[in-house]
Structure 1
Amino acid sequence: MRILITGLNGTLAPRLAEAARAAGHEVIGWDRKAVDIENEALSAAWLSAQSVDAIAHLGMASARFAGWLASRCPNFLFTSTVMVFENEPDGPHDVADARNSSNDYGRYKAECEDAVLLASERPVIARIGWQIDESRPGNNMLLTLDEWQRRDGCVKASSAWTPACSFMADTAAALLRLIERPLPGVHHLDSNADEAWRFDEVARALAARFGRDWRVEAHQDYRHDQRLVGGPSGLPPLSARLTRQ
């Protein structure tokens, strides 16, 4: 299978590309310096010449572009975010729940979801939580907590927050399965969906797993059951990689 993956300079897309190549697929990216996504004629000509079998849109671009991409390939996957939901009403958040984000990023992702759904009859939309990885830059929980420890001398972690989160390799594997065997609709990919680890528990387990000397301080300033539930996620639980401390 020849797969176009956008966002290969980002955080999760390179892990998806690694998984796809390991499974024998050919991966190509979108070089925005060579092909301006705002030039629809040039973009259409370039994409047509690539003869891709699937598109996985993980890159940051306009909702218009997300919808345009979805209209160009029947096997289309878009990654969205748990941030389309607020903490009121509280979760866990089901695939059928109304999106109600008040922050810019969550509203942007919701707009992209809508554009994709309007443009394609059978898109796959995968909402994900905070990703965990040993080395990938960007919005990576492990490296973010490293930064908190350096900045504050501790990791302040709410015991009233049950985060949606997954290891990046597990998310990439689940996304690849959805590309190889498309199941149209909205999917929630969350390794914490069933086990409901609190954030302070996740932080302590990560410190033990990766040999960090963080000073984890629990608080209850933020309350949210953020878990993503509903439908088969295909993700292993956090306990497959972490041990509660």
Structure 2
Amino acid sequence: MKVLITGLNGTLAPRLAEAARAAGHEVVGWDRATLDPEDETASARWLEACAPDAVAHLGMGSPRFAGWLAARSERFVFTSTAMVFDHEPDGPHHVGDARSARDDYGRYKIACEDAITAVAPHAVIARIGWQIDPTQPGNNMRMALDDWQRRDGHVAASTVWVPACSFMADTAAALLQLLVQGAPGVHHLDSNADDAWTFDQLARALALAFDRPWQIRPHADYRHDQRLVGGPTRLPPLSARLRPAASGCP
């Protein structure tokens, strides 16, 4: 199967490309430097020549482009975000819950979701949380906590925030399965859905797993049960990859 993956210069898309190639699929990318996705004529010519069997849209781009690409793909997966839900009303958030984002990024992802569902009932919308990986640069929880420790001398971690999150390898495997199966609808991909570790518990478990010298400083300034629950696809739990730290993870 030939798979077009957007966002290959990002964080998660390269892990999906690795998983696809390991499974024997051909991977092609969308080079925004040479092909403007807002140029519909050039984009249509290129997409017709490329002729992918499936498309995974992980890159940034306008809601218009998301809908345009979905309408021209027989198998289409779009990665959305837990941030389509605000902390009020609180979670855990189910696939059919009203989206309540108040920030620009969450509203942008809602607009992309709507543009896709309006034209492509066959599309898969996979909402994901913060991703974890041992080495991948970019928006990676492990790297972010390293940065916080360097910047502040500690890692501030809420005891009342239950984040949606998963390891990139598990998310990539699930996205590839959704591409192959072509299961339409909304899917919630969250390895914390059942474990319900708070952020301070998770930070301590990651420090233990990766041997990081983080100074975890608990606080209760941000409260949100952000977990993504429900839907037909489940990821391995965090507890399958991490063991609780002495602070008392469940």
- 1:133 is aligned to 133
Q: Work out whether residues 188 and 234 of structure 2, in 8 Å CA contact, stay in contact via their aligned partners in 1.
A: no
**Corresponding position of 1:118:** 118
Is the Cα contact below 8 Å between 1:190 and 1:233 reproduced in 2? no
CA deviations on 1:116-169 (whole Å, 9 max, x unpaired) are 001212110000000001111211100000011111111110010000000001
Equivalent residue, structure 1, for 2:85: 85
SS at match of 2:147: helix
Partner of residue 163, structure 2: 163
Whole-angstrom CA distance in 2 between matches of 1:76 and 1:30:
15
Cα distance in 1, alignment partners of residues 121 and 188 from structure 2: 19
User: Are 1:219 and 2:219 counterparts?
Assistant: yes
Alignment partners' CA distance in 2, 1:192 and 1:222: 18
Q: Aligned partner of 1:148: which letter?
A: W
* CA distance in structure 1 between the partners assigned to 2:65 and 2:51 by the alignment: 19
The 2-side partners of 1:191 and 1:121 are apart by: 26
- Kept after mapping to 1: 8 A contact 2:157/2:199: yes
**Deviation string for 1:28-59 (max 9, x for gaps)?**
00111222212111100100011110000000
3-state secondary structure, aligned to 1:79: strand
* Residue matched to 1:198: 198
> How far did residue 27 of structure 1 move?
0.3
Aligned residue number for residue 7 of structure 2: 7
Cα distance in structure 2, aligned partners of 1:234 and 1:90:
21
Displacement of 1:103 in angstroms is 0.2
| Distance (Å, rounded) in 2 between the aligned partners of 1:96 and 1:52 | 30
How far 1:233 moved relative to its partner?
A: 2.7
Question: Following the alignment from structure 2 to structure 1, what is the Cα–Cα distance between the partners of residues 229 and 123?
Answer: 19
Contact 1:160–1:198, Cα closer than 8 Å, also in 2: yes
Q: Which runs of 5+ in 1 are unaligned?
A: none
Secondary structure at the aligned position of 2:45 is classed as helix
- Match in the other structure for 1:48: 48
Contact 2:166 2:192 in 1 (8 A): yes
Secondary structure class of the residue paired with 1:235 = coil
Between the two proteins, the alignment pairs up a number of residues equal to 245
Query: For residues 193-243 of structure 1, what are the alpha-carbon distances to aligned partners after superposition, in whole Å with 9 as ceiling and x for unaligned?
Result: 011001001000000000101110111111000000012333100001101
Match of 1:71 in 2: 71
* 8 A Cα contact 2:121 2:185, kept in partner: no
